[in-house]
Amino acid sequence: MNRPTLRDVAQAAGVHPATVSRALNPQTRQLVNADTAQRVLRTARSLGYRPNPFARTLKTARSATVGLVIPDLTNPLFPPIVRGLEDVLGTAGYGVWVVNTDNDEQREAAAIESLRARNVDGYVLATARLNHPLIDELAAENVPVLLVNRRTERADIPSVTPDDASGVALAMRHLVELGHRRIVHLAGPQSLSTGYQRLRAFRYALHDHGLPDAPELVVECESFTEDAGAKAVQRLLDDDVEFTAVLAGNDLLAVGCYDALEERGLSCPADVSVVGFNDTRFMDKLHPPLTTVRIPHYDIGAEAARLLLEGLNQPQRHARSVLLPLSLVVRASTAPPAPRTRAT
């Protein structure tokens, strides 16, 4: 009546459970007579046999399960990453536990602890903190660890990250070609790896184009939110900083920038060009549609899965990291600067 077990199949097929186990496992099938194997396969199917993953894991000590740690699933960045990861890990027979940390140290510790309790075979860390003791702690457990969206100093930990630097370069080239010379960067929090990387890339780009690295052209926002973006631009305007273009650390900051501009009666792109980062959904429906750097989130997840699988299958393999190329989506928020700098 209950779910059939290996012994049930064995009994029905008239063989020993061990034989059924080997017949059912493609790896060991050649150890059993071909006819017997066929018979076992058939009776297993006819009984509707499904192996009990818990018994198997108990015996083999591998759970066919990996843990994914993200700040917040509700952040539109992550769902595509999660899907990419699940899609490729799923076809490899792995399940994924997703835990949210809300960027809270306590919750993060609890989340990781829950993954440990569940005996995951590997970890994917997509939280934003730049450095973290947990990374070392996990790596010491001799379980594959993979970083997403950020890197660490430790070169032995593989990671998959968007190539923020070249994304910023793309955006800057676009603005410079349009004729902009005074470009503001709305930098994200410098404690977050994306915030940090993009600001650095911004400075490099300035240098590459022979533009001055004026300190007033960089505002560090305390968070990646619309509010922070709006406040930053308001401050810029209040301080009479001259600029004709804004490179926002991400789309949310760009949206905040839109708000501040509108509030001050400035028009985009006539007065100020704006470019975002991420190509979040609906950015093409903004007014004007936002020019932004697109990040292949799904591919990031998928690539992370592939790298993790490598680590799972051949633990001794040399750690490998990948950098994913980005592209610039030019829409209507960028245009040549007005002939004269706007009146202050």
Partner DNA sequence: ACCAAGACTACAAACGATTGTATTCAGACG
Partner DNA sequence: CGTCTGAATACAATCGTTTGTAGTCTTGGT
d(CA 184, CA 164): 17
Closer to its own copies by CB, 57 or 166: give it.
57
From the list its own copies, DNA, none, which binds 36 (C-beta under 5 to 8 Å, kind-based)? DNA
**Binding of its own copies at residue 98 (CB under 8 A)?**
yes
Q: Which of 285, 314, 316, 339 binds its own copies (CB under 8 A)?
A: 285
Pick 30 or 46: Cβ nearer its own copies: 46
| C-alpha to C-alpha distance for 300 and 148, rounded to whole angstroms | 8
- Binding status of residue 89 toward its own copies by CB under 8 A: no
Query: DSSP letters along 281-313, please?
Result: TTGGGSSSPPEEEE--HHHHHHHHHHHHHHHHH
Q: What is the DSSP letter of 215?
A: G
Give kind and range of the element (H or E) at residue 161: strand 159-162
* Residue list 26-55, contact with its own copies (CB under 8 A): 50-55
DSSP string, 57-122: HHHHS--SEEEEEES-TTSTTHHHHHHHHHHHHHHTT-EEEEEE-TT-HHHHHHHHHHHHHTT-SE
95 touches DNA (CB under 7 A): no
Partner whose footprint covers residue 206, from DNA, its own copies, none (CB < 5 to 8 Å by kind): none
Q: Which option in DNA, its own copies, none does residue 32 bind, with CB closer than 5 to 8 A by kind? A: DNA
3-class secondary-structure state, position 279: coil
315 is an interface residue for its own copies by CB under 8 A: no
Among 1, 26, 27, 117, binds its own copies (CB under 8 A): 117
Beta bridge partners of 293: 277, 328
Which residues would be at the binding site for its own copies (CB under 8 A)? 50-55, 57-58, 63, 72-74, 76, 78-80, 82-83, 86, 90, 95, 97-98, 100, 114, 116-119, 255, 258, 280-282, 285-287
